[in-house]
Every structure is written in structure tokens, then in C-alpha cells.
Amino acid sequence: MQRKVIASLLAFLLPATAGAADNVFQLGTVEVVGSQAGEESSDETVVDAAALAEYNRDTVGSAVALVPGMSLAHNSRNEDIVYLRGFDVREVPLFVDGVPVYVPYDGYVDFGRFTTFDLAEVRVAKGAASLLYGPNTLGGAINLVTRKPSKALEGDVRAGVFSGEGRRAAVNLGSNQGSWYLQLGASHLEADTFPLSGDFKATAVEDGGDRENAYRKDTKLSFKVGLTPNASDEYAFGYVRQDGEKGNPPYAGTAPGSIRYWQWPYWDKESVYFVSNTALGDKHILKARVYNDHYRNSLIGFTNGTYTTQLNNTSFPSAYNDTTRGVSLELASYLFEGHELRVAGHYKQDMHEETNPNSPTKDFRDDTVSLAVEDAIALAPGWRLRLGASRDQRETDKAYTYEQSDVGASNWLAALSHDLAGATEVYGSLARKSRFPTIKDRYSYRLGTAIPNPDLRPETALNLEIGIKTTPWSGARAEAAVFRSRIEDLMQTVVVTSTECGGSTCNQMQNIAEARHQGFELAIEQRLAEAWRLGLNYTWLDRRNESSSTVPLTDTPRQRVFGHVDWDITAAWALQATAEWEEGRKVAYGSTGTYRTLSSYTVLGVKGIWRPVKDAEVEVGVSNLTDENYELSDGYPMPGRMLFANASYRF
């Protein structure tokens, strides 16, 4: 059974887009379904298109923040970074239709650059994420599943404005002609700045009002054509292009030496992929993915806040040119009664090139191979068991002038679930996962402050989860989970004796730490009569560096709450209120090597919705209604009160 949050967890509680389930590109999902038993055994949490629109989640970063266990961070590079139960995006990789799209160099992804207008759903797999995803799913995986049309002609158009001279527009068109289908999407999201809270205290580089150097522009085009020659076979070709640019707001805190005057003139991504599903008789299915993903960006540094004189040294200007290409083959077998056995093989090639006019071009290449097997077993009525094992191997074929390295890791998982009377399911899982060190982890000089370490080992984690999903009373649906992860060979920066950094010491990444993540999650939805819907999710997370009590694990809140109230006043009019609260977030204090705990905050939102005719909506609202002054990272204040207005039409 799928665990869906807000609109997706409880589709009967919230209004869903017509035919939403039919518009999911099923070839883009990665899961073990257990169809022999007629039930799903997936532990993935799903946020569908209805929830994305309902809660105005224009970017993937804001979308996944709806999921219990997820939190959002905003770093000094003006990137939206997400955490899942304390694991960051290097340990919870991002996929589009099952194709890995994280940046090869450092494993990071700016979730603020990925918009949601053309998505059917966002799927979050946690500690026992399927091994069929491939390597590096230490803490889970996030899969963006695109749309597949179900009608001869369908689509939607939307447009809106928001504070900070913000503009958004998107169009999606689809056609399904039975033996073939076509899906097109285009979107544009742009803002010149964003307003700071009226309680923000001015600094030398930020005088309040509109945030300095906070512009953004993101354009996205997507295209998919598919052939369905019969009921069992499907062949699809997809193309996605993202063109972005952004400013980097300067540090507005009190830590010394932390101010950067940066701009990103381009942040572009282009993905081409082929996905197929072919029946081999009536007992076997072969699924294939072939992909090529190209990413490039440019970073310019300036001498001051006028942004007129560029830095010109061995670090700036900087340009990255990364390419990932690969192939995955997956064979599903239903030969044995009560079993859905899947065997998968992955090959992935990551290439990174960085250029600077004042230093030699550096190029790197990693080749990764992964073999996995997973079996979904119907043990007895209401009992399901999922077992899996995999082996990952990475070879460094090119590393500029540095020493090359090869490394491998083994993974396994076991998950058991049982359906009880009264629409209740209990489950438990245990999984051992790993993550390879990135090119940056092994070889980056970090602007002249560090020396490479090609011998880094993979991080490993043992993830345990026990949970329940139930209907506790009429009109309600709830789920709860406790989890614990033990991480070994955690990579951290240490100080070593060396003269290569201009002094007597340098920083270096080493496998020195052990860590523990543990916590509790709760999600509940309640319908009151026909007009009212209420929802709440809560996460408590405790992270500890067990190797050093003086170096905390940072950038995640200790407690986080998201809640909503929806009131359908009439068929044409509705009101919605939302609230987000968190506390206990520890962050680095500039680059001083010390830490601070950010203040707790509460952000309220409200909007009114008018439906003048069927399938048309106009909404006007306010986010951060009380103009709360808050941060997710030291010195980087978040937006204050924001007004917005949107209009949309589906056909």
C-alpha cells in the first residue's frame, strides 16, 4: 500500500484533479509492486499533482517539505537543499522518471531549480528505498514522475504573480491516441527579488526592504512521446531542458569574513532518456532505461555589492560542464506463485569538467556498476515480505593529475507488512545502504583551503523503521513511524599538517565519524462533514555525532510541524489556511568553525479560492501572513510577507 501525504495519502479527503491517477507515467516509477497478491508493497510516500497545486508548491524543494521526515534548508550558495530524516541530498539522490539527475561533481541538487508544473507526482522513498534505484540511496530516494495523458486532448494553463516582481506561467498539453501518446510542457518562474520581514535589522550589506541580489529566472521545456502497441508493451522517449540564472544574496549575519558577492549567469540542465516495458511471454517483463544528462553552470565573483568588478583569479570565474550517461535493465519474473522477483543491472558514467581562465582545465570520470535483486513475497493473506540485495562498484577512470581510486559496497534490505482488521497496516523494515564519496569529496581543493583524499571509503547506514497506518475513527486516516539510523565511515573535514594551503595546516575530508539519527513521524487527516478538511504532520528528529560531541550535525530542525485547514464554503468558493513551525535547528556560524541554534519560527498562510466555472480557478493569498523574520541558515533571512494571485484552467 502506498503511503501518501496530504492530498495523496488520503485522496478521499481532498479534491483531486480529475483522472489524476490515470495521468501518472507509470514507467517512470521505481517500485516492487507485488502484483501476484494484488496489492502494493511499496513504502514510498507520494505527493500528487493535486497537492502540488493545492499548496502552491512550485519547486520540488517546497513540495517535498510536505512529507513527514523531510525538511528544507537554504545554504550560502542560494540553493534549496532538502533533508530526509537527517540525510542530505547526496545521500537521498534525485531522479526524474527513475533516471538519476543529481550533479556528478558533488552529488548536490538545487531543488529550487526544479519546478513542479509538469509533474504527475513526487515520490519519496525512505530508509528501505528499493535497491532497484541503483547506488547511493543511503537515506532514501526522491523520484519526480512526469505526466502521461489519458484523453485524446487534455491539458492545463496557469499564470500568476507574487511579491518581488514575481511571475509564473505554465502550460501542459497531452494527447493519447490509443497506440501512441504525446505530452508537452512549458513553464517560466521568475522574480527580481523578495521582500524581507519588517523586523529584519539592517546590516552593512543588506539594508532591508527588498533582498539584495536575490533575482531568479527558471524556464523549463519537457516533451515525451510514447508507443503502446499492445496492452503489455510501452516505449517512451523523453526530453527535459531547464535554463536558469540566479543571484546569490550576500551574507547578512554577524560572523566575520563570510560575505560573498556571487552571481550565477547560467544554471542549465538537459536530459534525454528512453524508457521501455516489454512482456516476455506471460511470466516475465523487461524494463529498460537509457539516458544522457548534461549539466552546466557558471559562477562569477565580484569585489563588492555593486556587482560591477569581477574577481579574476584561479577560482573565479568558474564554469562546470558535467555529463551523466547510463543504462538500466530490469527483469521482473512472476514464474513462482506468490513472488514478484526483479533483477536489475545499472551502468552509469559521470564526467566532470571545470574550467577557469587562470588555471588548467580539470576533468574527471567515474564509472559505476550496480547489480540488484529484489523479491516481493505474498507469505499469506495480509502478509507481505520484501527482500533485496545489491552490489555497487565504482572505478575512477580519470582524475586530472590526481591518484585514481576504486571502491565497492554491498547493500541489503528486508521489509515485512501485515494488514489487520479495520483498515490498519503495521510494518517494519531493516536496510543496510551505502553512499560513494563524490568527486568533490575526494579531489576538491575548496578554494585553496583543502587537500584531496582519493582513498575515501563509502559511508554506510543501517536503517530501521517500524510503523502503522490506520483509520482511528470515522472520517480520519493516520500513520505513524519510528525510525533509527546508524551511520558509519561518515565523511567529515579534519585539519591536517600541510604547507599546500599557504600555511602549516590544511583541511581534508576523512572517514572519521559515526552518527546516529532517530525520530518519530506522525501524519493525520480528518474530514469534518463535507465542507471541512484538516491535516497535520509532525516530525521529531534527534541527530548525534557519536565521534565528537563538539561537532554537531547541522541544518535540520529538532521538531517540525505542518498543518492545514480547508473550508469549502460553497461549490464556487473556498478558504485555506496553513501553518509551519519548527525549532531546534543548529547551523554553522559563518565560516568561524562555531555553531548556533536558530530561533524557532511559525509561518502562516491563507488564501481564498474562486471557481467561476468548472475546471477554472482564481486564487488570492498571503504567505508568511504575520511577516515572521526567520532563517534556515545563519545570515540568510527568508522572505517576509508575500502576496500572490494565480489563475488556472484545466481541460
What letter does residue 27 receive in the DSSP assignment? G
In a domain, 275, yes or no: no
In whole angstroms, how far apart are CA 337 and each of 34, 37, 243, 282, 376? 11, 9, 49, 13, 11
pLDDT higher than threshold 90 for residue 167 = yes
User: 117 and 144 in contact (C-beta within 8 Å)?
Assistant: no
pLDDT, mean over the chain: 91
Q: What integer pLDDT is reported at residue 421 of this predicted model?
A: 79
How many angstroms separate the CA atoms of 264 and 243, rounded? 12
Q: 503-553 pLDDT, tens per residue?
A: 888 888 889 889 999 999 999 999 998 899 999 999 999 999 999 888 899
User: 494 and 510 in contact (C-beta within 8 Å)?
Assistant: yes
| 530 CB burial (10 A radius; 0-12, 13-18, 19+) | exposed
In a domain, 272, yes or no: no
Q: What integer pLDDT is reported at residue 19 of this predicted model?
A: 44
> Which of residues 590 and 353 earns the better pLDDT score?
353
Total number of domains constituting the chain? 1
Domain that holds residue 351: 3-215+226-267+286-650
How many angstroms separate the CA atoms of 255 and 179, rounded? 62
Q: What integer pLDDT is reported at residue 590 of this predicted model?
A: 74
pLDDT higher than threshold 50 for residue 376 = yes
pLDDT higher than threshold 80 for residue 1 = no
Lowest mean pLDDT among 223-232, 287-296, 413-422, 641-650: 413-422
Q: What integer pLDDT is reported at residue 32 of this predicted model?
A: 55
Mean of pLDDT values over 372-391: 96
Q: What integer pLDDT is reported at residue 38 of this predicted model?
A: 37
Which residues share a beta bridge with 291? Answer: 273, 326
In a domain, 277, yes or no: no
pLDDT higher than threshold 50 for residue 272 = yes
In a domain, 220, yes or no: no
What residue type is assigned to position 214 of the chain? Answer: A
> Which of residues 519 and 109 earns the better pLDDT score?
519
In a domain, 292, yes or no: yes
Residues 6+ apart with CB under 8 A from 474: none
* CA angle, residues 535, 540, 541, in degrees to nearest 5: 140
Q: 393-406 pLDDT, tens per residue?
A: 999 887 776 777 78
How many angstroms separate the CA atoms of 376 and 507, rounded? 46
pLDDT higher than threshold 80 for residue 90 = yes
In a domain, 40, yes or no: yes
Q: 6-34 pLDDT, tens per residue?
A: 334 433 333 333 345 578 999 999 975 54
Cell of 51: 497537492
Q: 169-189 pLDDT, tens per residue?
A: 999 999 999 999 999 999 999
Q: Return the closest-CA partner of residue 399 out of 454, 359, 451, 360.
A: 454
Mean of pLDDT values over 441-453: 82
What letter does residue 59 receive in the DSSP assignment? B
Q: 51-71 pLDDT, tens per residue?
A: 999 999 999 999 999 999 999
For residue 449, report the phi and psi dihedrals to the nearest 5 degrees.
-110, 0
Confidence band, pLDDT 50/70/90 cuts, at residue 258: confident
In a domain, 279, yes or no: no
How many angstroms separate the CA atoms of 37 and 381, rounded? 8
Name the percent of the chain lying above pLDDT 90.
77
Cell of 622: 498571503
Q: What CATH number corresponds to the domain at position 237?
A: 2.40.170.20
> For 33-61, b where at least 16 C-beta lie within 10 A, e where not — what string?
bbebbebbbbbbbbbbbbbbbbbbbbbbb
In whole angstroms, how far apart are CA 606 and each of 67, 191, 195, 578? 20, 21, 18, 6
Which residue bears the cell 572519521? 512
Task: Write down the number of H helices and E strands in the chain.
Answer: 3, 32
Q: What integer pLDDT is reported at residue 21 of this predicted model?
A: 56
Q: What integer pLDDT is reported at residue 501 of this predicted model?
A: 84
- Count of all residues that appear for the chain in the document: 651
> Which of residues 446 and 200 earns the better pLDDT score?
200
Q: What integer pLDDT is reported at residue 249 of this predicted model?
A: 97
Alpha helices for 211-251 (secondary structure H): none
pLDDT higher than threshold 70 for residue 633 = yes
